[in-house]
Every structure is written in structure tokens, then in C-alpha cells.
Structure 1
Amino acid sequence: MARASKLPLWAEVGLLPALNLLAAFIVSGLVIWGLGEDPFLALSLMWEGAFGFEEATGYTFYYATNFVFTGLAVSVAYHAGLFNIGGEGQAMLGGLGLTLAVFMVGGDAPMLAALAGIVGAALFGAAWAFIPAWLQAKRGSHIVITTIMFNFIASALLAYLLVGPLQRPGGQMPESADFPPGTGLTPMHELFGALGVSFEESPLNISALIALLCVIAVWFTLNRTRFGYELRVVGKNHSAARFAGVPVARMTIVAMMISGALAGMMGLNEILGEQHRLIGNFTLGYGFVGIAVAFMGRNHPLGIVLAAVLFGALYQGGAELAFEMPNITRDLIVMIQGLVILFAGAMEHMFRDPIERLFMRFERRAA
């Protein structure tokens, strides 16, 4: 669990992540310079590719939407003292539940089919998280081991279904048939157009707004409800929670199911918002990156949004950078993303001690 902080909130959620991010970019810049390229030009190209025009901005926030869902999933479980690294598998099952719900409702009521898909994604994601949660709460199985193994099971199950019962008739690829016409989430450029605002076409769709609603719901639940308080007590100290009458086993299961539901809803963006069919590799590692997003955002919903936008910018801006600078390959872009994860996630406390000493020195002088 996180150590007690001696820093003000703005330094905890703002200054420390900024220093970690700066360190990651400095190391990345040295690598780019070693390849004979200008690191400042590379940073400029990355920014231009992520936010320089409307289509790029749309793609950035499209990727960020996935990270918001998976980051929130990790955060909810973490507040309950659980390390859910099964977001990838839960997202896969969420996509499966979404697809089955859409085909079950059919094309006669496309809006109802879309709503059923949202519910199906959440339910299947929650159900897939329930099994490791029950094993942890009732049998003492380690949640990290069970969730990571369930990722492999989910991948195998999805592969079987997409080359068997759910495969597109006559198709050769691991994908389902297309959803009925009109079934899907409204693209944001169409929504903006209906409001009289011009915006370039991109995959960004209203699942981004659903993600923001989930952010608000998670914040409110954790900080303004009895359930959220009990969940955080369980995460801090199981013995204290039991002494206070909190049902630890039930809270463990419920927290993991909420976490799984959030991860499962990632399919809203990829499947219901863009692909309009179930494909085998739609998760693309977003569930794992959600771990870094959650920790970089200090497991606070607002911090998760900011971290998600950063990783969305790295994905979109990195693609532009690799196109403009041939010496900077896609593998190098992945390395830069890895450095951000390393410094902001695994080494998040690297600058904490010197910053705490600096603040204590200022406080002594002020006194």
C-alpha cells in the first residue's frame, strides 16, 4: 500500500508525477540524441502529432478513453487493497458480452441494441472478475496470480469463439460478423456537427463521455458514500475493517466486480464505437497500460484522466514521430512509453524523499 505522504496534495498529485515524467523525457531525449536526431524537434513533432490538428486530437482522446476505463478498473481494486492485473482479460470478456447482447437484440432496435451492449460489456467484465475475487475472499488465492492467469484463459476463449461459433460466415479472419446497421455509439464529430461545431472526422465517439461519467461516479462513490469509505478501510487494514463490522470478503468481491465492469466497458470505445464487430486483438495491451495510468494518476479519478491523456498523446504523437523521423522506429516509441511507465509507475517515489526534505526545510524557516 502507499506510504503516508508528508507533502501537500498539489505536490503529491502534481509535482511528483511531473518530475517523474520530466526524468522519463530527459532519458528518452538522450537516447534520441544518441541516434543523431534532435530531441527538441522530436518532442515538437510528437506534440504536433498528438494535438496539432483536430483529427490528431480526436485520435489522442480516442486512445485516452481506453486508458480511462482500464485505469479506473485498477484504481477501484487498489483502493480495496487488491492488485487487479486482469484488466486485459476482463476487457476481452466485456467485448464478448457486448457482442452477444447486440446480436441478441438485433437490428430492429439499434439504440436498444447499443444500450444492451453497454450493459453486456459491464456484466461480462464483472463476471470474469468475480471468479478471482471469490477465490481470493473465500479460498485465499492470490489475486495477482489468478487475474493474470485469467487473462490467458480469456484470450484462448476469445480465439476459440472467433474461429468457431462467432466467426464471420465465410470469413478467414478471427472476427465476428458486422453489427446490424445503425448499431453503435455516435462519433463525436457528428455530435459536434449537430451542435453547430465543425470538427474533423476521427474514431472519437461518445464512449469518451461515458468514461467521464464513470470518472465522476467512481470519485463520488469512493469519497462521498459509506460504501466507498468501507472499501477504503478494507484496503488500509483488513483487521480494523473486520473489527468495525465491515464484511471484508463481500467488499473484496464487490470491489473486484466493479473493477471488472469498468475494464469490460473498454469495449464500448473499440467495438461499439469504432470497429462495429468483435475482433480478436481489440484490447492491444490497454489493460496492462491501465496499471501505469492508475499509478501515475495516484489512483485519483482526475489524475487517471490526466495520465490517460498523456498516454493517448504518446500513442498518437509517437506514430507521427515515427513517420517523420525514420531513425526513430516504432520500437523506440514503445521504449519511450516504457520509460514513462518505469519512472512514473515503478519508480514513482524516486523524488519523494528530497522533495519532502525540501518542504520540511521551508516549513522550519517559515516557523
Structure 2
Amino acid sequence: MTASVLVLNAGSSSIKFGLFEISGSEPALLCKGLLDEHEAKPRLVASSPSGETLFERQKEASDMDGGHLFADVIAFIEHRFGEGCLRGVGHRIVHGGPDYSGPIALTDDIHAKLEALTPLAPLHQPRCLAPVRALRAIRPPLTQIACFDTAFHHSMTPPASRFAIPGRYEARGLRRYGFHGLSFEYVAGRLAAIAPELAAGRTVIAHLGNGASLCALRNGRSIDTTMGLTPLDGLVMGTRSGTIDPGVLLYLLQHERMTTGDLQHLLYHESGLLGVSGISADMRTLLASGEASAREAVDLFTFRAAQEVAMMANTLGGLDCLVFTGGIGEHATEIRSAISERLAWLGVRIDAAANVQARERINAGDSAADVFVIPTNEELTIARHCVAVLQRHYRP
């Protein structure tokens, strides 16, 4: 029997999972997989760390029970790694609000408080919490642990954490929280291992994917970020608008007679790269397209990213290091190049060959700031937190 924790990372249409052995000094990946509940036939796939398929199952939607595919996941894990091997389940929870600044074992009371935060992340929070309910029904005694995307940014202080609104609203929790914290935490740790002298300085991490945000770090701690109360703010994203004039929203409500539901759908699902291009939310599709609107969307994405890197550098009082991560940040050579070119006035220079090869360090020798490409690993970060919580939870 292999002592392990299951990590669930819920997205908008699927749930990534990883199973980690926890008997050593560092969690070790045993297998990984995907639960896709939005296909005509919901699907579960599990593979080895090298990518070899270990298990695959599809079900008719009509055959789905209250546990969906989670019962199948647990059955597969216990068959392969031993009955009783699971010590706990870690969940990426997008919003922790003002109260939760670190991982915590879930109780009914905490779960209810997290559900109450749904208005702050209306599309993400329910998706994150749904597996908690499903697993509670399947295995009530199993320890479930919440790890928050907002927690890393609890080190932010005014003025970076404030909105320019009356204080009574801040007292009700309306402040800038920031997201992608589990990714930023992992990348900050990797940077500290690679280049500790840089990690101690002024760093901007660019998590660029379908969701995208920046984090300004000093001594490895978040002091500013581009997302705010919700995951809508900041950079242009796949289908999200990012920063937008509040007057636009008032206009749409008052003169286009949009409902709040219409407006929410527009901002979360019809904007960003998809809205500008009219073609796709996928950066790969846009980079391969010859359409003018695709180029316009890419240009806006890189323009806004560079603009907000400069804003983060202003918060830091300079820029020693820029790190690219996330699906776009790790794989889109052209995007890294375009953002860096827009930051040439800050002294950022990248080496073209190193960028094409996606080396770990891609800055040119005369660059005023070091530039890295560091793959993120949110699941490993969650596994580490789970180990710490379980050790506290079961300490004699």
C-alpha cells in the first residue's frame, strides 16, 4: 500500500488530477489524469508520469450517479496502489476571501463559508467545490483539504490591495485579492532554487494562459498583482475582458438593456481573445491564422501584458527578473518575444535562439533584467500543502 494524496484542479470544463506518494521528503507523482464531464460521454483518463495510459472509461450521461466519475477514480487508485492508500484529497479553491490565507482541512462550516464567496468568483467557485460534495458522499471520512488561489496574495497591503471606493465596502470584503497564487507560489520556489539572488530581488511572474495574470514579488512575497476582487480583472484572457472602463459596463446595462446575467456571460465567455478576434480563444489558433482580426487580438494581448508588467515594475521600483509561465507563457515563443520587445525601454532583451528553444533562461547578455521560462506545477504545490495539513491533523 502506497500512502498518497489525490489532488484535484477543477477547470471550467474538466478536472485535472494527480496522485502523489507522500512517504518521502517530497511528494512524488504516481499518476495523473483528466475527468471530462462535459462531453456527450463523460470521460476519465489516467496515465503514468511518462504519459502511458493506465486507465480509461467513458459513461453515458444518463448513467452518471451523484458521484459522477469520482467513484471510478478512487476505485482505480485503490486497485492499483492499495486499498486504504488515500490519506486525503487536496482541492484548488479559487477564492478564499479575507479569512483563509493558507491551506485548511474542510469542515461543513468552512465549506458553507466558501460557498458564500461564490459571488466573488461565480463561475470558478462552484466548479471547485462540486468535487468536495461528490467525494463527501462517496467517502465521508476522507480528509479533504482546500488550497486557495488567493492565499499567496495575502501579503499584499494598501495601497496595492485597495479599491478607490468608500471604506464601508472594503469592510464587507470588497478588496483586491489576486489569483493564480498556487502557480505563483510554485514558480517563486523554483526561481529561488535556480537563482536565489534574483528571487530575493524585484521579480514579475507572468502566468499566461486561458486565464492570465501577473504578480510582482519582492523577496519571494506577493506585493501586487493584476487580478482584483474577481478573476476578471487585469490582462486580456482567452474569453475574459480583463481591465475595462466601468463606464462600458454602465452603458451596456443602461443603454443596451443587458441583464446582469447577460453582462456576466459577455465578460466571462465572449470577450478577450475570442471577442476581439471573432475566431478563437486559443492563442495557438490565432498565431496560426492569417486573419487581420487574429493579429489584432494577439497585439492587444501583448500590449496589455507589457503595459501591466511596467505597472508591476513601478510597484517594485524596478525590475530584476521577468518569468514566463502558464500554457502561453511556456510554449508561445512569439508572445514572449513580442512582450519583451515592448519592454525594451526597461532594458529587457531576450536571446532569440534561447527563446525559440524555450530554455530556462532566455535573456540576452546585455539585458537589464534576467528572463526565465519556468513551467508551473499547481498540483505539486497542492500536494505539498496537503502533506503539511495532514501532518498537523494527525499529530498525536
Per the normalisation by structure 1, the TM-score is: 0.27
Q: Greater helix percent: which structure?
A: 1
Say which structure, 1 or 2, has more relative contact order (CA 8 Å, 6+ apart): 1
Q: Greater strand percent: which structure?
A: 2
